[in-house]
Structure 1
Amino acid sequence: MVQSSFPWLSLAIFVPIVFGFVTMFLGSDENPGFTRKLAMIGALLGLAVTIPLYTGFDASTADMQFVEKALWIAPLAVHYHLGVDGISLWFVILTAFITVIVIAAGWEVITSRVAQYMGAFLVLSGLMIGVFAALDGLLFYIFFEATLIPMYIIIGVWGGADRVYAAFKFFLYTLLGSLLTLVAFVYLWNVSGGSFDIATWHNVQLGYTPQVLIFLALLMAFAVKVPMWPVHTWLPDAHVQAPTGGSIVLAAIMLKLGAYGFLRFSLPIAPDASQSLSWLMISLSLVAVIYIGLVAIVQSDMKKLVAYSSVAHMGFVTLGFFIFNTAGVEGAIVQMISHGFVSGAMFFCIGVLYDRMHTRNIADYGGVINVMPRFAAFAVLFAMANSGLPATSGFVGEFMVILGAVEYNFWIGLLAATSLILAASYSLWMVKRVFFGEITNDHVRGLSDINTREFAILGVLALATLYMGVYPKPFTDVMHVSVQALLEHIAVSKL
């Protein structure tokens, strides 16, 4: 581990949290301009303190870097222990980046309880970064569960007509799934000699049966959070009812918390169980990729369509993890980052239309390109990226996972590749009905094109999507050594 001489990770966690609470207490609806600027300063500072993590990162080692460690709860040997490696680094930066996007997205749209809205997202940002940076099991669990609170409030207060139902469903699904994880953590604390150190857990020699039980306990939490089929049903409801910013964060970051849990806990702690149960994970992933893709095609609500699309794309992620080769795992991580850009952009595009028309039904639109040409150009780009078009970030991760799957088993790779056809079907079918053709609705005829703020948000997301699609090397270079070390750990355990 590389000890940090400066607490960059603590700043990445607590700068947005502190600014979140300051915004809640100092901001008000009477002075929304000050409130928004204060929140944006907090989001930009939160992003700024993550930049040294990348510029100072040593990609040649799999060791944890920027490590901070201090005893926190002495009787239980719980430490405030932070650090990042090539697997977690990009998610810390992505979280801070998406937070800036979300604050900007709600700039003019949110007019009620502005301070609480902005503050909740800033607090949520810090908590999610804590999940990716925690190297102590109990600290991870606290951050992991704490993220539920601000998102529950965001959906329940600023959501749609059925927001309370959706918020409760989201909260209960994810909370109940996590309770078995706490049991697994307590067991690991006991067998590791009273340690919550995650690295220590990685090296604990467990029998096959305890590994299977721990894997299944962890699966309950992480599968719900991803979400994997069949525990995905909370996600469409949460997305449909959440405000635009809530949908962006939910898709871009919160779904990644569960996927990250597989990499940090399930695979290294229970490697034998992970390999013996890989058939289960691969099967569930393929169901998500194919069946949920078919479900997305028949949706009439744009948000539901993109929500189901997220489930299908996250199926690619879990598939990549459990084929145990470099292309698969690295492709899955690239897919997670790309999905953050693309799904966040697509939910923002839907929010732009909803703010003007107050409907998400595809049938209520048509011919939008005639009155919103700049917006339509961005929307088509992101739909193409969602379909896996080459030169966009959506292609890179999926192609790597398909290559890894073919290397693992040709037929699994073939089934996974059908997602490219399905993604193109539901994405382009939606684009055709919403944007192209003649204007058939007087409300559409009166629409105005995107303003400077909306153009800037979509422009930044478009640049990120294209840059990663054209030149993914900076992303894969960071993660390569850490992924190799994880796969070697699993392979050695099997021997």
Structure 2
Amino acid sequence: MSDFPFLSVLTVAPLVGGLLVVFLPASRGELAKRIALGWSLAVLVLAVFMWIAFDASGDRMQLRESYSWIPRWGVNFTFAADGIALVMLALIALLVPLVILASWHDADNLKRSVPVYFALLLFLEATMIGVFAAADVFLFYVFFEVMLVPMYFLIGSYGGHQRQYAAVKFFLYSLVGGLFMLAAVIGLWVVGGKTFDWQALTQIDISTGTERWLFLGFFIAFAIKAPFFPFHTWLPDAGGAAPAGSAALLVGVMDKVGTFGILRYCLPLFPEASKWFAPWAIALALVGIIYAALLAVGQNDLKRLVSYTSIAHFGFIGIGIFAFTSQAGTGAVLYMVNHGLATGLLFLVVGMLVARRGSALISDFGGAGKLVPVLAGVLFFAGLASLALPGTAPFISEFLVLIGTYTVNKPVAIIATAGIILAAAYVLWMVQRTTQGTLNPALTGVEGMRRDLSVREKVVVAPLIALLLVLGFYPKPVTDVINPAVQATMEQDLNTQDPAPTVGTVQEAHR
């Protein structure tokens, strides 16, 4: 089974499905939805077989494929996956069919082309899979840039208030970051012997000054994509304007390309520069945790609030990456997965509330739980998962990040815990103002607020709730896949070792 070209087929399949859907007449909207859903489910099944074929105790990079593309430049269609890429590919395959189900009526309500909307979702899936599966630096860059196109149209054509402004801002920020990366990619090709192969590039020696400049080119692009403070300002606008399903993919998956890129490219290719810049990266992550959390508390727009919470969460992921311990690194990758599940659920549930009320403003709700109790309960659960309540999956990842960071940098870990307190504040305050308290009389006259979760919506939220609970108590199936890749990054690429545990006796402690 491991000889099957999983990664290339996974990349191409959604593209083919999108082409089938996009050429359907606008009047065949229902058929477009069914084809898109069926195609995405087929991708999910293929991803399950890929997970089974992956040997967690085997080679670091598996499922490798390579096809000649531009021989003169040393460019190939090379795909390969380690445990970090594998879990992200699985997250994409899971979220896309759920987003398609959740977005069933989004394009109908906007009176725009339904086939184009669902084709864009499939195109986005293809590019996201490609960017995580690429093992050629130039191929990665191509997917990194092309990925912007479907999301730009999803926001600009199908989004809400200020959608065109948000789409242009998203595109320009990402494009500027891509230009920095392109310069670094060209520089890497020159110093790397005119090859773009990731495995070959990890073996080359680069002078200190050159390595730092190349690191900066990649890091700026990834910091914008993640986004880290102070490159974050595009995300609240894009997340607030995008349709809820698209926003779930934007924040749940697309932004992880930034943190994945740091783990896959910055650390292995530029290990000494990564260590040199680590204090600055950690400082940016810490500021992002506190700053974004404070801004989230004051938000009156539900979707912008969720976007700001994600900036804070990315701060934790950044700390976990640059702590350079296997515990913190595993926690950071697990955080990427769990954040995708929790924030994906939160965005989808917020979208359901907004669709019923016709407004994303928190002040337009109040006591909504009295009218839609099940939906309110799911929102409450999604909020608790987002603040990393023990028993939910994000708690495990946040705990690993903090404990792994504490062993090497106690002040950073202690300051970061303030973000946990602020997370409780903005999540509980949001839930209180939307679903609890006195019923807003205006809600009783809104027809949509008389409908609780439909069967379709229950199918959307049930798998995410189940995974958040199961991984909250038993994350081993995921951590077993992640651990070898993280350890290889820390020990082989960075040449770092976890600090030895210090255990003292009671008598020694008294002395």
Instruction: Please state which band the TM-score falls in when normalised by the shorter chain.
Output: over 0.9
| Deviation sequence 1:93-120 (CA, Å, 0-9, x none) | 1111111111111112321311000000
Structure 2 gaps, min length 5: 498-511
Pair 1:48 & 2:30 matched: no
Q: Paired residue for 1:84, among 81, 84, 96? A: 81
Distance 1:137 1:431 in 2: 43
- 1:70-149 matches, within 5 Å, as 70-111=67-108, 112-149=112-149
Distance 2:361 2:396 in 1: 31
Pair 1:457 & 2:460 matched: yes
The answer for the alignment partner of 2:4 in structure 1 is 6
- 1:184-199 matches, within 5 Å, as 184-199=184-199
The answer for the alignment partner of 2:438 in structure 1 is 438
The answer for the alignment partner of 1:426 in structure 2 is 426
Quote how far apart the aligned CAs of 1:201 are: 1.2
| Residue aligned with 2:84, SS | coil
TM-score (norm 2): 0.94
| Deviation sequence 1:201-248 (CA, Å, 0-9, x none) | 111111211111111111110000000000100000001111112111
Quote how far apart the aligned CAs of 1:188 are: 1.4
Give the counterpart letter for 2:221 in structure 1.
A
The answer for the alignment partner of 2:273 in structure 1 is 273
Report if aligned partners of 1:364, 1:441 keep a CA contact under 8 Å in 2.
Answer: no
Give the counterpart letter for 1:403 in structure 2.
I
Report if aligned partners of 2:289, 2:316 keep a CA contact under 8 Å in 1.
Answer: yes
Report if aligned partners of 1:367, 1:439 keep a CA contact under 8 Å in 2.
Answer: yes
Count of residue pairs brought into register by the alignment: 491
Distance 1:236 1:463 in 2: 28
Distance 2:2 2:141 in 1: 23
The answer for the alignment partner of 1:346 in structure 2 is 346
Quote how far apart the aligned CAs of 1:468 are: 1.3
Distance 1:333 1:347 in 2: 21
The answer for the alignment partner of 2:319 in structure 1 is 319
The answer for the alignment partner of 1:173 in structure 2 is 173
The answer for the alignment partner of 2:232 in structure 1 is 232
Report if aligned partners of 1:240, 1:303 keep a CA contact under 8 Å in 2.
Answer: yes
Quote how far apart the aligned CAs of 1:29 are: 3.3
* Bigger Cα displacement from structure 2, 482-491 vs 121-130: 482-491
Distance 1:65 1:289 in 2: 35
Report if aligned partners of 1:368, 1:436 keep a CA contact under 8 Å in 2.
Answer: yes
The answer for the alignment partner of 1:18 in structure 2 is 16
The answer for the alignment partner of 1:68 in structure 2 is 65
Distance 1:218 1:268 in 2: 12
Q: Percent of pairs identical after alignment?
A: 38
The answer for the alignment partner of 1:471 in structure 2 is 474
Distance 1:401 1:63 in 2: 22
Report if aligned partners of 2:267, 2:494 keep a CA contact under 8 Å in 1.
Answer: no
Give the counterpart letter for 1:197 in structure 2.
D
Give the counterpart letter for 2:373 in structure 1.
P
The answer for the alignment partner of 1:310 in structure 2 is 310
Quote how far apart the aligned CAs of 1:338 are: 0.6
Distance 1:482 1:53 in 2: 17
The answer for the alignment partner of 2:28 in structure 1 is 31
| Deviation sequence 1:324-356 (CA, Å, 0-9, x none) | 001111000111001111111111111111111
Report if aligned partners of 1:366, 1:444 keep a CA contact under 8 Å in 2.
Answer: no
Distance 2:269 2:469 in 1: 36
CA RMSD of aligned residues (A): 1.4
The answer for the alignment partner of 2:284 in structure 1 is 284
The answer for the alignment partner of 1:222 in structure 2 is 222
Distance 2:391 2:61 in 1: 32
Distance 1:365 1:456 in 2: 25
TM-score (norm 1): 0.97
Quote how far apart the aligned CAs of 1:4 are: 4.8
Report if aligned partners of 1:256, 1:336 keep a CA contact under 8 Å in 2.
Answer: yes
Distance 2:443 2:292 in 1: 32
Distance 1:187 1:374 in 2: 55
Give the counterpart letter for 1:248 in structure 2.
A
Quote how far apart the aligned CAs of 1:491 are: 3.8
* Bigger Cα displacement from structure 2, 472-481 vs 186-195: 186-195
Report if aligned partners of 2:2, 2:53 keep a CA contact under 8 Å in 1.
Answer: no
Quote how far apart the aligned CAs of 1:53 are: 1.4
The answer for the alignment partner of 2:484 in structure 1 is 481
| Residue aligned with 2:253, SS | helix
Distance 1:359 1:38 in 2: 30
Give the counterpart letter for 2:237 in structure 1.
D
Give the counterpart letter for 1:315 in structure 2.
G
Distance 1:62 1:210 in 2: 30
The answer for the alignment partner of 1:161 in structure 2 is 161
Quote how far apart the aligned CAs of 1:62 are: 4.2
| Deviation sequence 1:137-187 (CA, Å, 0-9, x none) | 111110110000000011110011311111110000001111121111111
